[in-house]
Structure 1
């Protein structure tokens, strides 16, 4: 049974089922409601469907999940304690289980049962492990690929010590050798507006990862807008000088994304492409993407003008 179908039971325990909306946050790809369903299915299969402690631990163990944070377990436990209005003894048991998931070192029999269910994904065949890895990769888009690969291998090798699954060797080998399709989306982004975001979303359907590269352009106004919060979980970089020089610093193959609004942009970008070829080599790769029609009139220059009259809000991201 899906955890979302436990709303009535949760309400009786003193939990507002609306807390499950945390698992619908857009930066989650693995730590979602589907993960909760998998954990709960494991517990039900082992005969714990009536155990309220394990149900609450399932619901709250990843309730706060920020891949940039190192205190998710502590924050989840704190959130549980602040929102749970039920039995005090129950609260203490669930809190301990949530905190134990930080290093998966169970401090009780119930915690050991829950940890096994939470880590069950690591016992799966390679095909499922690969899907799991792809989801984790998406959650850590903000980390440079070379850094991610190194840290991820360390994590998998650490988890391997507590899970006996030969398929994990294949997964580690995959992470070591995987070359994701990475794109760089450059621009001055002053501001980064809804038209830019439309292009970014399309690029992310094509590539495994898109780096937002904010260039300091001496020919344009000094940046007066911060990048919007919606980009928090994506890799963003700032560079000075030539785009080709920035790309060289990455030390891995990338494709450059150019956003187009109309035919006039296309002619301009064709000329830019020639410069990129001459400065960056003939093998440089560029993908041009047209924005949707509803965004083709939006420009950063126009928004800055509208801002003077307090009319720019509908075009901005926050």
Structure 2
């Protein structure tokens, strides 16, 4: 079985993330969306919320599963018999960082990294920007699925009501 891991924080998941996941699901027998648990960072959405949202917005992809992980990605890949990490690349700055990680991962464990160029429609979309726009009442529907838009509105509905 050809199994790939799409790792990330997904706080929140964007249409750009979903494009990479969808395209990966056509290339591999199984794709694991691996939500990183970073205990040094406080996300907007809890890990449980992110997993719930990701499961809902990928339910149309039967060969995709969603889990969380902490620790080294290569250990997670080994434990799940995944031979490939799939990473979306938006810009050269993404590539510079991700190339270092890919080289480290192959050196540590032999896990390959597939760099997938982001669809130009989403090349500027980042979770951090989406959160900032939503926080100040901006329109995010073209950047995230409807479920995520609703959940962002819920998180930020009290902003500016002092």
Q: Offset of 1:208 from its aligned partner?
A: 1.7
What residue number does 1:261 align with?
90
SS of the residue corresponding to residue 133 of structure 2 reads helix
1:267 shift after superposition:
0.9
* Deviation by residue 1:211-243 (Cα, 9 ceiling, x = unmatched): 111011245432515324222353101011111
Give the corresponding residue for 2:103: 274
Q: What is the rounded CA distance, in whole Å, between the counterparts of 2:127 and 2:137 in structure 1? A: 15
The CA distance in 1 between the partners of 2:87 and 2:44, in whole Å, is 20
Residue aligning to 2:143: 315
* Shift, 1:264, TM fit: 1.3
Give unpaired runs (5+ residues) of structure 1: 1-179
8 Å contact 1:187–1:215 — kept in the other structure? yes
Aligned to 1:110: none
Tell me how many residue pairs correspond in the alignment: 136
| 1:187 maps onto 2:8 in alignment | yes
Which residue is 1:202 aligned to? Answer: 23
1:188–1:223 contact (8 Å) kept in structure 2: no
Please give the per-residue CA displacement for 1:153-193, whole angstroms capped at 9, x wherever unaligned.
xxxxxxxxxxxxxxxxxxxxxxxxxxx21111000000111
List 4+ stretches of structure 1 deviating above 6 A: none
**Bigger relative CO (Cα 8 Å, ≥ 6 apart):** 2
Alignment gaps of 5+ in structure 2: 148-162
1:246 aligns with 76
Length-normalised TM-score, structure 1: 0.40
Distance in structure 1 (CA, Å) of the matches to 2:68 and 2:82: 18
Task: Provide closer, same or farther for how the CA distance between residues 308 and 284 of structure 1 changes in structure 2, counting only shifts above 3 A.
Answer: same
CA contact (8 A) 1:260 1:290 kept: yes
More helix by share: 1
Larger strand proportion, structure 1 or 2?
2
Q: TM-score, normalised by structure 2?
A: 0.76
Question: 2: distance between equivalents of 1:240 and 1:295?
Answer: 27
Q: Secondary structure at the match of 1:235?
A: strand
User: Considering only aligned residues, what root-mean-square deviation do their CA atoms show, in Å?
Assistant: 1.8
